[in-house]
Amino acid sequence: MPVTVAEGAGFCFGVQRAVEGIFDLLGREHRRVVTLGPLIHNSQIAKALAERGVETVEAVPERGFDGVVVLRSHGVPLHCHLQLAERGIDSLDLTCPFVRRIHDAVREGSAQGRLVLIVGHADHPEVVGICSFARAHEVFASPEELAAFTQQNPGVEQRPVLLVAQTTFDVEQWRRCKNFVEKVYTNAQISDTICNATENRQRQAAALAADSDAMLVVGARHSSNTNRLYELCRQHCARVLLVESASEIPAGFLQPGDKVGITAGASTPAYVIKEAADKCQTSTRP
């Protein structure tokens, strides 16, 4: 039986741009290179960068740092940009353009006096960065949380607000939050900031899972979009496994004749997906 890889599996535009950008930098830069936070959520890429001498730091280096600071694809908080400029440190901004668009929208909305409502996971680095561009904000992971906030703050539904979403957030949850704001808030500006790749990936994964005996989700366990794919596939397929590489697929998970579907997170390299597909093909051969 066939092993089918979802069309949208693997690197999204922002991740591809970040990976190509840093390796291009390493090909022409002889000074020290560090990333401010992990460049992307992928252990294989992290290992490859470490082998090239790239370090991950959690704070902007002090003045006098002789090297280049690379800004992660998820973006960094506003104070990091200000510190880099103030300390005169060279940097390469590899923030995903779709994330940067949210920063710009939030900055503009805040300047207009809008309360920024952010749909996403509060501890996700992308959301942490987005919050830093807002003068006033609230973060919600579900429409229920948004409804509770509205009830607990009488009159807030009449305030000017801006609604945005983490680019990799659950599409259906975003739609429910948007519908709530459209019905309840009287002065709302809504910006659809979930990127098309996220929506397509989730739709394709659900359809493939519904047509498969077993489903494999390949990606980092701490990746928000990978975990969402895993939960989505579980709604449509009885046997679903999340792995970071082919070596984690246990013996016995797949049976000869199984129809297997594979999807992958936005930070999963193509060669990792291929290795998983090859192993599945061998395991399901009658």
Q: Report, as residue numbers or ranges, the catalytic residues.
A: 126
CA distance 4 to 165: 30
Residue 23, amino acid: F
Look-up of token digits 């797949």: 254
- Close Cβ partners of 221 (under 8 Å, ≥ 6 residues apart): 227, 242, 244
For residue 267, which of 6, 39, 25 has the smallest C-alpha distance? Answer: 39
Q: What is the DSSP letter of 60?
A: P
For residue 116, which of 155, 165, 79 has the smallest C-alpha distance? Answer: 165
Checking 146-150 for CB contacts under 8 A at 24+ apart, the result is: 146/117, 146/119, 146/177, 146/180, 146/181, 147/180, 150/180, 150/184
Angle at the Cα of 268 from the Cα atoms of 267 and 274, rounded to 5 degrees: 160
Residue 238 near residue 269 (C-beta atoms within 8 A): no
Residue 34 near residue 61 (C-beta atoms within 8 A): yes
For residue 217, which of 227, 207, 132 has the smallest C-alpha distance? Answer: 227
Residue 222 near residue 268 (C-beta atoms within 8 A): no
Q: Which two tokens stand for residue 77?
A: 């908080």
Q: Which two tokens stand for residue 236?
A: 């449509």
